[in-house]
Structures are given as structure tokens and as C-alpha cells.
Structure 1
Amino acid sequence: MTAKNNLTAQPSNSALLIKRVLTGAAIGLALIALFILPIKTPHPEWGPYWMVRPFIVTPLAGALAGLCNHLLDFLRNQGGSKKILANVLMVIIYLIGLWMGMVAGLDGTLWD
């Protein structure tokens, strides 16, 4: 008698993961650009490279929200009310994550 391994490998959809992460980062980058690019005369105490941190931190927060979107696929694939729950969770997670990324990026400059 031989033991049978019934473990099935879940297909790794790395292209979809990359797409979601890049989409989240692009939305974060576009949103932070709306806040930062109109500023023509920043305060001198912010330093000459004050824009670097917000342009890095906020897209990273958006990318992490895109990763969460990908991880919630197991709920979305079950359909019904779980699909609705997954979509609502994703919107909440994305908004909170993006807000926290903007606060962390703009801390000491526009968010003071």
C-alpha cells in the first residue's frame, strides 16, 4: 500500500499580483502628486528634498494595499456574501492604508 499525497498546489498568479501591486502604487503616486506638485514655495525648514519621502512612502502604502487585495482573492472566489465582504474589506483597507501612507509621508511638511 502506498500513501497518496492529496495536497493540491494552488496556481500562483504572479502576473495578477504584480498588476494589483502596481495599480495600488500608481493610485498612491497620483494622489500624493495632487497634494505635492501644486506647492511652488515650500517652507525653508523642510529642506531641499522634502518631496522624496512622500513620493516613496505613499506609493509603497498603495502597493501594500494592492497586495492585500490579492490576498483577499480566496474570499472573493467563494462568491455570494463573501465576495461582497471581500470587496468592502478591500476598499476599507485601501483607504486606511493610503491615508496612513500619506500621513507618514507628509509628516513634518504638509501634515504638521
Structure 2
Amino acid sequence: MMTHANNLTIQPINRAALIKRMLIGGGIAFVLIALLVLPIRNPKPEWGELWMIRPFIITPLAGAAGGAFNYLMNNTFALTGWKKVLALVISILGFVIAIWLGIVLGLAGTLWN
């Protein structure tokens, strides 16, 4: 009989590295949303007085989720060669999509209208 070797071995989650990726992702998202929101000097009155709070909460949370996705894609499996490159590309794409969705959700009803 032929046996099939499984090269995908699950690695234990390193909490410190996961938290670091989440903080980096949230920080990147925070800077991006700050660059979009802080230059607004005369917001529309229908946005409300505290309109900036929502984007400054939702977008970094989405960035942190993207950072967690990045960690899980790159560190959960012991990948080598083209599989590691593919995992890196997918994780970066997932991070960008997470930040984009966070910006859309954070700015819905204000700048994203």
C-alpha cells in the first residue's frame, strides 16, 4: 500500500507574536483612518458632534483582525517554498481587504456616502 505523507503540520499559536501582529495591524489602520479623518475641519452638521469616534474604533479593530489573519496564514502551518509565498500573498490581500472594510464601515454615513 502507498501511504500519503501530510506535510501540513499545525504549529502551536504563539500568543505574543499574535498580539504583536494584531497591534501592528491596528496601528496601521489607525494611522490610515487618521489621515482620512483628521483633515476634515468643517464636518456636515448631520454627522453629529462625535462623528469621529466610530471610524477610530471600527477601523483599528478591522486592522487588528487583519493582523490576526496575517499571523494565522503565515504561522499556523509549517509551509515551505511556493506554498509559503502563496500564504504570504493571501495574508497580505486579506489584511488589505480587512482594512478596506473597516474604513467603509467606520465612515458609513459620513465621508463614505
- Give the alignment's TM-score, normalised by structure 2: 0.86
Q: Per-residue deviation at 1:78? A: 1.4
| Mapped contact 2:11–2:76 kept (Cα < 8 A) | no
Structure-2 residue corresponding to 1:89: 90
Aligned length: 103
Q: Per-residue deviation at 1:94? A: 0.8
Structure-1 residue corresponding to 2:76: 74
User: 1:43 and 1:12 mapped to 2: Cα distance?
Assistant: 46
Name the % identity.
52
SS of 1:110's equivalent in the other structure is: coil
Query: Any unmatched runs of 5+ in structure 1?
Result: 1-8
User: 1:15 and 1:74 mapped to 2: Cα distance?
Assistant: 14
Structure-2 residue corresponding to 1:50: 51
SS of 1:109's equivalent in the other structure is: coil
User: 2:84 and 2:103 mapped to 1: Cα distance?
Assistant: 28
1:1-112 equivalent positions in 2, closer than 5 A:
10-72=11-73, 73-75=75-77, 77-112=78-113
User: 1:88 and 1:10 mapped to 2: Cα distance?
Assistant: 20
User: 1:10 and 1:65 mapped to 2: Cα distance?
Assistant: 20
Q: Per-residue deviation at 1:12? A: 3.7
User: 1:18 and 1:34 mapped to 2: Cα distance?
Assistant: 24
Q: 2:44 corresponds to which letter in structure 1?
A: H
| Mapped contact 2:47–2:110 kept (Cα < 8 A) | yes
User: 1:92 and 1:12 mapped to 2: Cα distance?
Assistant: 22
User: 2:97 and 2:89 mapped to 1: Cα distance?
Assistant: 12
